[in-house]
Amino acid sequence: MGFTGSIYLLKIGQFFLIAAVLIMFAVSLYFLKKEILINSNKLNFLLMQMILIIMVTVIVRDYDQSYLYLVPYSVFALYITSFFTSKIVLPVYLIIMLPVIVIAQNGLEIYIINTLAGAMAIFTFSYFDRGWLQFINSFFVFGGLAFAYSSFRLIEEGSFSNFSLTLYGYFFWNSLFVIAAYPFLFLFEKIFSLVSNPRLRDLSDTNSPLMQEMAEKAPGTFQHSLQVANLAESAAREIGAYALLARVGALYHDIGKMCNPMCFIENQLHGVNFHDQLTPEESAKYIIQHVEDGVAIAKKAKIPQIVIDFILSHHGKSQTYYFYNKHVNAGGDPDKRDEFTYKGILPIYKEQVIVMMADAVEAASRTLSNYSEESISELVEKMANTRLFTEQLVNADISVKDIYTIKEIFKKKLLQVHHSRITYPERKSPN
Whole-number CA gyration radius for the chain: 28
Q: Is the pLDDT of residue 421 over 70?
A: no
The per-residue pLDDT for 88 is 82
Measured on CA atoms in the order 29, 31, 33, 39, is the torsion positive or negative? Answer: positive
Mean pLDDT of the region 300-319 = 94
Q: What are the pLDDT digits (tens) for 345-387? A: 999 999 999 999 999 999 999 888 888 889 999 999 999 999 9
Q: Is the pLDDT of residue 1 over 50?
A: no
The per-residue pLDDT for 14 is 66
Q: Is the pLDDT of residue 131 over 80?
A: no
Alpha-carbon distance of 382 to 373, in angstroms, equals: 14
Choice between 14 and 285, residue whose per-residue pLDDT is larger = 285
Q: Quickly list H helices, 127-164.
A: 134-157
Mean pLDDT of the region 324-351 = 89
Spell out the long-range contacts of 417-421 with Cβ–Cβ below 8 A and sequence spacing 24 or more. 417/227, 418/365, 418/368, 418/371, 418/376, 419/371, 420/371
Q: What are the pLDDT digits (tens) for 29-73? A: 666 665 665 667 888 898 899 899 999 999 999 888 889 999 999
Mean pLDDT of the region 320-344 = 88
Half-sphere exposure of 93 (CA within 13 A, CB side): 30
Q: What are the pLDDT digits (tens) for 143-185? A: 888 888 888 888 777 666 666 778 888 888 988 888 888 888 8
The per-residue pLDDT for 345 is 94
Question: What is the widest separation between alpha-carbon atoms in the chain?
Answer: 110
Alpha-carbon distance of 232 to 250, in angstroms, equals: 7
Alpha-carbon distance of 67 to 171, in angstroms, equals: 10
Q: Measure Cα distances from 51 to 56, 76, 97, 229, 273 in Å.
A: 9, 11, 10, 37, 60
- As a whole-number percent, the residues of the chain with pLDDT over 90 amount to 39
Between 114-123, 125-134, 334-343, the lowest mean confidence (pLDDT) is in 125-134
225 three-class SS: helix
Q: Which residues pair with 341 in a beta bridge?
A: 319
Question: One-letter amino acid identity for 112?
Answer: I
Question: One-letter amino acid identity for 247?
Answer: R
Domains and CATH numbers, the chain: 8-191 (no CATH), 197-417 (1.10.3210)
Q: What are the pLDDT digits (tens) for 75-115? A: 999 899 888 877 788 888 988 898 888 888 888 889 999 99
Alpha-carbon distance of 68 to 240, in angstroms, equals: 36
Q: Measure Cα distances from 148 to 40, 74, 95, 115 in Å.
A: 35, 14, 19, 10
Task: Supply the pTM of this predicted model.
Answer: 0.82
- pLDDT tier at 207, thresholds 50, 70, 90: very high
The per-residue pLDDT for 161 is 66
Q: What are the pLDDT digits (tens) for 240-274? A: 899 999 999 999 999 999 999 988 888 887 767 78
Q: Measure Cα distances from 63 to 68, 73, 74, 111, 394 in Å.
A: 10, 17, 21, 19, 54
**b vs e for 185-199, b when ≥16 Cβ sit within 10 Å of the residue's Cβ?**
beebbeebebbbbeb
Q: What are the pLDDT digits (tens) for 396-412? A: 989 999 999 999 999 99
The per-residue pLDDT for 429 is 60
Helix axes 373-389, 350-365, angle to 10 degrees: 130
